[in-house]
Amino acid sequence: MKKANLFKTALFAFGIALVAVGCKNEGSNVETTDETAIEEPADSTATDQADAPAMTDAVIASIAVTANQVDVDWAKIAEQKATNPKVKEFAQTMDKDHTNVINAAVKFAGEHNLTPDDNNDTTKGFVDQGKQFSETLNSLSGADFDKAYIDNEVTFHDNVIKAVEGTLVPAIQNEEFREFLSGAVPLFKEHLEHAKMIQAELSK
């Protein structure tokens, strides 16, 4: 399952990017705890953080929408290719729930004059890695597909929850936006537990 492991590396890099961006946020009192921190590779330098873009609400909005859209894209593939009924049902739930979050986010942004800023390396990198894993999914079939999709969903939701709680939400300046994004966390945690349950069943 070499290809599937590629995206786990990508998610690791995504986590690093979020931590770096969070550290660059001027005026923020965000502190990274041991529970949410993702250790940087040994060869990384302080320059990586210094070059990170400022974490504005517009950038955070872009990252949040992109994270949901990437999962919708994977879910649509799984709806077509999954062979295990529980995996297919899970994919349908991901498609519906994350699409609803996107729609709510777009509506919220419009009502609060918040335009997501897609012109940042974190969003662009996330989109690229999302496309790469979509290619991986499209190259797999049967039980291999089911396992790769669910394994990734566990890793994906775990990383997103840590990023949202540990980096994104604390950096948000607009209180209503902070409450909005925080409100999505319980749903993501529900998804994570659901994915873990299916993962355990597939491992039997």
Structure confidence by residue, pLDDT tens digits, 155-164: 999 999 999 9
Kindly state whether residue 39 falls inside one of the protein's structural domains. no
Kindly state whether residue 50 falls inside one of the protein's structural domains. no
* CA 101 and chain centroid, separation: 13
Q: Which of 10-24, 50-64, 167-181 has the lowest mean pLDDT?
A: 10-24
Kindly state whether residue 38 falls inside one of the protein's structural domains. no
Q: Calculate mean pLDDT across residues 133-161.
A: 97
Kindly state whether residue 31 falls inside one of the protein's structural domains. no
This model's pTM is above 0.75? yes
Kindly state whether residue 195 falls inside one of the protein's structural domains. yes
Residues contacting residue 157 through CB under 8 Å, at least 6 positions apart: 188, 189, 191, 192, 195
Confidence of residue 126 (pLDDT cuts 50, 70, 90): confident
What rounded mean pLDDT belongs to the chain? 82
Instruction: Give the CATH number of the domain where residue 95 resides.
Output: 1.20.1260.10
Kindly state whether residue 43 falls inside one of the protein's structural domains. no
Q: What's the pLDDT score for residue 95? A: 98
Answer yes or no: are the C-beta atoms of 152 and 90 closer than 8 Å.
Answer: no
Query: How many domains is the chain built from?
Result: 1
The kind and range of the H/E element at 158 are: helix 142-163
Identity of the residue numbered 43 = D
Kindly state whether residue 151 falls inside one of the protein's structural domains. yes
Kindly state whether residue 36 falls inside one of the protein's structural domains. no
Residue 2, number of CB atoms within 10 A of its CB? 6
Confidence of residue 53 (pLDDT cuts 50, 70, 90): low
**Look-up of token digits 């400022």:** 54
Question: Residue 149 is part of which domain span?
Answer: 2-22+55-202
For residue 170, pLDDT over 90 is answered with: yes
Picking from 133, 159, 174, 185, the residue whose alpha carbon sits closest to that of residue 19 is 159
